[in-house]
Chain A
Amino acid sequence: MKGYGKYFTKKIIWFFITLVAAIILNFALPRLMPGDPVAMIISRVAQNINDPAVLRQMYESYMQRFGLDRPVIEQFFIYVGNLLQGDLGLSFSRYPRPVSDIIAHALPWTIGLQLPAILVGWTLGNVLGALAAYIRKGFDKALMPIMLFMGGIPAFGMAIILLTVFSLNLGLFPIAGGFEQGLIPHMSWRFVFSIIQHYHLPFWSIVLISIGGQAIGMRSMSIYELNADYVKYSRYMGIKDRKIVGYVFRNAMLPQVTGLALSIGAMVGGALVAEIIFSYPGLGTTLLQAIREGDYPLLSGIALIITVMVLLAVFILDVIYGLIDPRVRAAQYEE
């Protein structure tokens, strides 16, 4: 396991480097824009708030947070200090509710929706891609164009298609929200049932758009592996085809794990927009409200949380990949 230890250490260091980079970007981007960032941020929200006292209060609180009169390095440490205390500032649109509180309410919905959906989409896509590579012929010919076409539909497009067909026309599922309006969240059968009812459409729209790309990737990988020399050799050593297919698909799936790590950022981005279509009470819908209402603290907080989530997912996938692919460990010795 020595090779793995080295690999793991590398990955954990890389995780922290990316985390720091993400924080720096989050800190620097608004400051890079020309003009007074605080004035600009406040001007966005001004049209929605009429009380000048509140506006002044916001300006001052934000001026203090940004500390623009101080050196940049000091500003950065104030920013990081606040972050470490879990302080992301106060929301403008729901003043004076803390941003961290709003995010804490939305985050479970997003994770609960996207994590299973992306995993299910990834699994189904890999199974279909492997089958297409193994069966070939008509199945492959029919499936691949469908997968390519589905891979081209944006997440929100799939969400709208499912919404109009299954909810508006067939009336099978509710139109919007995470649970029935008027219900107070608590543990009861009715509430759980309502959550499941509202879960279906957003879930399947994310699953369906993830399938396409994964299936195509898995198909190419599988075809590549099926032509590998070890397949022929194993056959001539008398090993059963079923067992060899097992080798092939395991080997084809390994790069797909890395592939997921590399594409999870884009998938999450697409899924956030899909949330909006269903007014799902997660980060995507909150993000849209923050943008519409000029709520910069909320926007910046959500951006940071999404980045941290994605970085964490990539880290976990890297760790898993190192465990299941022996080549990673071998590569560590070569260096």
Chain B
Amino acid sequence: MKNTLKQVFRSANFRIGFIIIVLILLLITIYPIFSPGNPLQMIGYDSFIPPGLYVSLYDSLDVPRIYTLRLEGADQIRIYAKLRPTDRELIRDWLLLYSEYNEVFELRKEDINLEDTEALLGLWWTYFDPEIRFENLTIAERRAFARLDTRIDGIFDLYDKYIWTYNPETGEQELVGSVTNLAYINVSDVTNVRLLPLGTDNFGRDMFKQLVSAITTSLAIGLIAGLIATMIGLVLGLLSGYLSGFVDDVIMFFTNLFTVIPGIVLLILISYSIGQEQRGPATVAIVIGLTSWVWTTRSVRAQVLSLRNRDHVNLSKLSGHSLPRIVIKDILPYIASYVVMAFILQVSSAILAEAGLSMLGLGPRTTETATLGLMMNWAMRYTAHLSGAWWAYYPVILVIALISFALNLINTGLDRVFNPQLRD
């Protein structure tokens, strides 16, 4: 046993897969300790908040200390953030249009240097007039110019920002302080800071927290479904392979039947018939398990058939040992590795099956728990991909692929140990 384990760990494939799974398991056990609470709590008022470190604006106003830092390039960064390359091109477009429109004003495309911010803005502020209506310009395009103008208004100004508060006694606004362009605060001084590594989804729920909880649920679904499928497959495969005759024929008839009838169709029909309200994660796992035992049955049966006439089994039979004893002592140990491999495959395909079902709207009922499939379903339903909210679906796809990848790696690693033919 110890020797086999050593051999298994010598396979690079197995090691990599094992490490990925261990890391995922660590994540789902440790993260909830540091970030407790309901993963489906809606914390955001907006949908699809991008990933980032969020700092409370309100609390940052009365931090104990304000630092004055003269950081090089801070102005450029500020200007760049307000005036992106696309904005510069927009300015150029307007100026060129204006040059066509106004016969006195002559400007060629080459004359405009997009990098020279001051010259560019100088031209803009001199000539831009929202009242001018160029031909062939849609309303949206005209508004884009107007919006740009308001946005870059005062871009070079470095006036202090003033903070006023309402005094309930006097009923008046009072000046309490000002913020210069050199004022900085230390983030650790701000009481309310929240890291949203993956932003939020359309309901304003913390994506990362939700993802961690979804991995837990999906893995649980995979394990339950895998266990059920493996148990059924093992029992049927053992019976069919060892008993042969009529029992074998009946079992193999159903196995072959459910091999060709697509599992997804059964899943869809059963899940739909159960109804949305009755479908919890456990029900979904059971349904998946009940429809995916055929592969295990096949491989267990094949293994048992090849073992049935081995000397040690015959010896056991001649010694008058009972059927359960022969199966447990003389057959099970020899097929254990295959059963483990089949189980791993079952887990990975059950996770994928749940995802597929949920995409169709037949997964676990929503709003109580998150699963990887449900997260995908929500992202697609609220068209995250059309709003550019990559954080709402790419991490989920990556996690599904990683789990499946890792389990497959583990399996190929095991396969190479137990099927020496593949080794080299």
Contacts and interface: CB of A to CB of B under 8 A. Distances in A.
Contacts of A261: 260
Given A29-B269, A33-B273, A266-B264, A291 B356 contact: no
Given A25-B269, A299-B272, A156 B356 contact: yes
A248 interface: no
Secondary structure call for the A interface? helix
Interface residues on A, range: 35 or more
Given A22-B261, A25-B269, A26-B269, A157 B400 contact: yes
Secondary structure call for the B interface? helix
Nearest to B372: A154
B408 A151 contact: yes
Contacts of B259: 262
Contacts of B388: 168
B5 to A, nearest CB: 22
A306 B268 CA distance: 11
A315 to B, nearest CB: 9
A21 B262 contact: no
B272 A153 contact: no
Contacts of B270: 29
B422 interface: yes
Contacts of B81: none
A306 B360 contact: no
Interface string B258-278: 011111111011101111000
A29 B275 CA distance: 13
Given A164-B390, A291-B361, A291-B362, A272 B264 contact: yes
A307 to B, nearest CB: 5
B420 to A, nearest CB: 11
Interface string A185-227: 0000000000000000000000000000000100010011001
Interface residues of B, number: 46
B421 A227 contact: yes
Interface in A135-169: 145, 148-149, 151-157, 160-161, 163-164, 168
B261 A154 contact: no
Interface string A298-312: 011001001100110
Interface in B29-46: none
Interface in B344-378: 348-349, 352, 355-356, 359-362, 376
A224 B260 contact: no
B265 A307 contact: yes
B340 interface: no
A303 B412 CA distance: 34
Nearest to B352: A154
B405 A273 contact: no
A40 B270 CA distance: 14
The 7 tightest CB contacts between A and B, nearest first, are A152-B404, A269-B264, A265-B262, A157-B397, A152-B405, A153-B401, A33-B273
Given A154-B356, A265-B264, 9 more contacts: A145-B409, A148-B412, A152-B401, A164-B390, A223-B422, A261-B260, A276-B360, A291-B361, A299-B268
Interface of A: 14, 17-18, 21-22, 25-26, 29-30, 32-33, 37, 40, 44, 145, 148-149, 151-157, 160-161, 163-164, 168, 175, 216, 220, 223-224, 227, 261-262, 265-266, 268-270, 272-273, 276-277, 287-288, 291-292, 296, 299-300, 303, 306-307, 310-311, 314
